[in-house]
Amino acid sequence: MSQRHDPIFSALRAPVDRAYAESCRHEPQGASGRRAAARRRAEVLGDLYSAMDWALECLAGYRYREGHAALAEARRRDPRFLAARWMAFQYPLDPSPASEHEQAAFAHRWREELAWFEAQDFHRPDTAPQVWPCIGSATPFHLHYLEDAIPEMRRHGHLVARMMSALDPGMSPRPMRSHRRRIAVVSAHLREHTVARLFLPLLEGLDRERFELHFLDLEPGAPEWRARLAAAGTHHAGPRPVLAWRQLLGVLEPDVIVYPEIGMEPVHQGLAALRLAPVQVCLWGHPVTSGLPTIDHALVPDVLEPVDADAHYHERLVRLPGLGHGLAPPPPVASSPPTAGLRRDDPGAIEILCAQSVFKLLPAQDAVFARILRGLPTARLHLTPLVPDEAIAELRARMRPAFEREGVDPDTRVVVHGRMPLERFRALAAACDFGLDTLGWSGGMSALDLLPLGLPIVAIEGPTMRSRQTAALLRWLDTPEPIARDAADMVEVALRLGRDAALRERLRGQLRGRAPRLYARADTQQALADFLDTVRPAKAG
């Protein structure tokens, strides 16, 4: 789930001369080759923007420490260039912290840098041109995975809105249409992605006589996704510079802008920080508050939120019935070659799946994994961190001491899988005995994919949506047995599941039988339509 970037710095960088370009022709290919070439350009050219290109190449390839070195070099070349400081502020040293100490250190640095940026005057002539290179390069994505930073998100949202106001005052006040409201949906994830799977069916189901839909498709997907958007409304395909998207919204004059997610992609962040429609809302594709004063409402799933959820959002909360999505049931899992050999000959073997990205695999998780494997000597743990091999090696190295302290060999007991198609992922899950959720940021889409397969998932019910999604889904399915109180209880619940095949089989049948509760509901569709048709701008003051 790496963040994508506007070509901000490459557009500014001085052209590389022909002789230098020729010297780079024989660089090795692939991600490591691109990083090496970018570093070489930075060393040869010695300018600010080549150093920033090097940083972006490293960060896109999950080589965060090298990316920080490139950012430090950019700051050395021009200490006044704010984008290098902004990116160093938003990115940790590793996709998942190397230790709990490093996790705390990143959060501390993040707060210090937030305060530094809050003290700046972005309306100054020498500072205003630097706003978009900052906002368009990184969001607080990584901090979201480490903790419930609700006050900090409010501060960050106000900072981003203030920064963007130095570039653009937004729209002048205007009335909303009295009939057939114009809805603009802005997203970089209207493709094979969790966001489109959850929310595009809801949007496709809106009555065209009540609504005029426009999809601003920042990063278009495969032709079948583009065709769906064109059938559902007017499809405005990217890629385009952020100014072109801003101008398009100005021409369209939507009544409501819907951001299916805010926090995963920098262009969303910048556009959402401007007032470009009378009403602006976000869905729960990224289940934390945006903190932006320009986002009026957060439309969230009633089932996944705790009773005090209003305190967790800067936006006014609108609880959609049930699970608040339009997800359709997937086709049945077919027996396929990718799962062949997964089960070992030992009839007592146990396969455990933690189907979460590297960002959720925090250091505190290592000891939990190790204690479970120690207590279940015939078990193997399967991980799907969704990162390149280099980052997988670093994750394994971090995990090794915790496993060895428990007398567990991580080389034979932990299987780390690379990226795989959804069908293969579901086949892997169907062949496992039970799953483990992550501490802090719980599984959402993964749980929606895996629970219908009958996979019990051990999960903790945290205080906010980001930390309780899987547990809330288990309660929705009237299957609370896998829910743990805390990390220590998570170990005990996992051991109970691992040692009791009859319990696993009972839960498997229960989850499969109740799976239809997890999919789209008519009342969710109706609630979204009624909200879009009746919502009014908040009164000033």
Phi, psi values for residue 392, rounded to 5°: -65, -40
| Predicted pLDDT at 308 | 96
Regarding whether 466 and 513 lie in a shared domain, the answer is yes
| Residue that is last in its domain, among 129, 147, 165 | 147
Note whether residue 170 is domain-resident.
no
pLDDT at 45: 81
Tally the domains of the chain: 3
The residues that bridge with 442 in the sheet, in sequence order, are: none
Do 350 and 496 lie in one domain? The reply is yes
The torsion defined by the Cα of 330, 335, 336 and 341, in degrees rounded to 10, comes to 130
**Would you state the pLDDT for residue 502?**
97
pLDDT at 41: 82
Domain assignment of residue 416, yes or no: yes
Within this chain, do residues 61 and 96 fall inside the same structural domain, yes or no?
A: yes
Residue 86 shares a structural domain with residue 215: no
Q: Say whether both 341 and 297 belong to one domain.
A: no
Q: Are 364 and 502 in the same domain?
A: yes
Would you tell me how many other CB atoms lie within 10 Å of the CB of residue 128? 15
Co-location of 274 and 384 in the same domain: no
pLDDT in tens, the chain (541 residues): 334 344 444 433 333 333 333 333 444 457 788 888 888 888 878 889 899 999 999 999 999 999 999 999 999 999 999 999 999 999 999 999 999 999 999 999 999 999 999 999 999 998 999 999 999 999 999 999 999 999 999 999 999 999 999 999 999 889 999 889 999 999 999 999 999 999 999 999 999 999 999 999 999 999 999 999 999 999 999 999 999 999 999 999 999 999 999 999 999 999 999 999 999 999 999 999 999 999 999 999 999 999 999 999 999 999 999 999 999 998 887 655 445 446 556 778 999 999 999 999 999 999 999 999 999 999 999 999 988 888 899 999 999 999 999 999 999 999 999 888 888 899 999 999 999 999 999 999 999 999 999 999 999 999 999 999 999 999 999 999 999 999 999 999 999 999 999 999 999 999 999 999 999 999 999 999 999 999 999 876 4
Indicate the residue among 132, 147, 162 that finishes a domain.
147
Residues 341 and 486 in one domain: yes
Distance CA 73, CA 48 (A): 8
Range of the domain at 307: 181-328+521-534
Neighbours of 13 (CB within 10 A): 18
The CATH code of the domain that includes 457 is: 3.40.50.2000
Strands 483-484 and 457-460: parallel
Q: Answer yes or no: is 176 within a domain.
A: no
Residues 360 and 294 in one domain: no
Residue 121 covered by a domain: yes
User: Residue 296: which CATH number?
Assistant: 3.40.50.11380
**Residue 29 pLDDT:** 57
Give which of 219, 226, 148 is closest to 439, Cα–Cα.
148
Residue 289 forms part of a structural domain: yes
Confidence (pTM): 0.92
Task: Check residue 28 and give its pLDDT.
Answer: 47
Assess whether 323 and 381 both reside in one domain. no
Whether residue 172 lies inside any domain: the answer is no
Residues 194 and 296 reside in one and the same domain: yes
Residues 185, 317, single domain; the answer is: yes
Look at residue 444 in the predicted model and tell me its pLDDT.
Answer: 95
Closest CA to 264 of 234, 238, 290: 290
In a domain, 34, yes or no: yes
